[in-house]
Amino acid sequence: MTDETPPKTESIHAPSEFEQLADEQQMGLMAEFWLFIKEEKKWWLTPIILVLLGVGVLVALTSTGAAPFIYTLF
């Protein structure tokens, strides 16, 4: 008596929507934020974000050699 098992066949299935989304390349933070503003029509957020970015740049520059030049602006 020989114990022969049938060969296993791999099931070929189309990837689900979840699997397709998992394989896609992820967007960056700025691209995702821009898409959010554009899709949700939140244009009033743009000036707030620009001011926050400007303040962040000023804070970052105060710790560099450009600090004396920035202080003369104020």
pLDDT of residue 57: 87
Q: Please, which contacts does 7-11 make with residues 24 or more away whose CB atoms are closer than 8 Å?
A: none
Look over the chain and give the mean of its residue pLDDT values, rounded to a whole number. 80
Task: Give CA–CA dist 69/18, Å, rounded.
Answer: 52
In this structure, how many other beta carbons lie within 10 angstroms of the beta carbon of residue 37?
15
Closest CA to 34 of 50, 22, 18, 20: 50
What single-letter amino acid sits at 45? L
pLDDT of residue 15: 77
What is the arithmetic mean of pLDDT over 51-63? Answer: 86
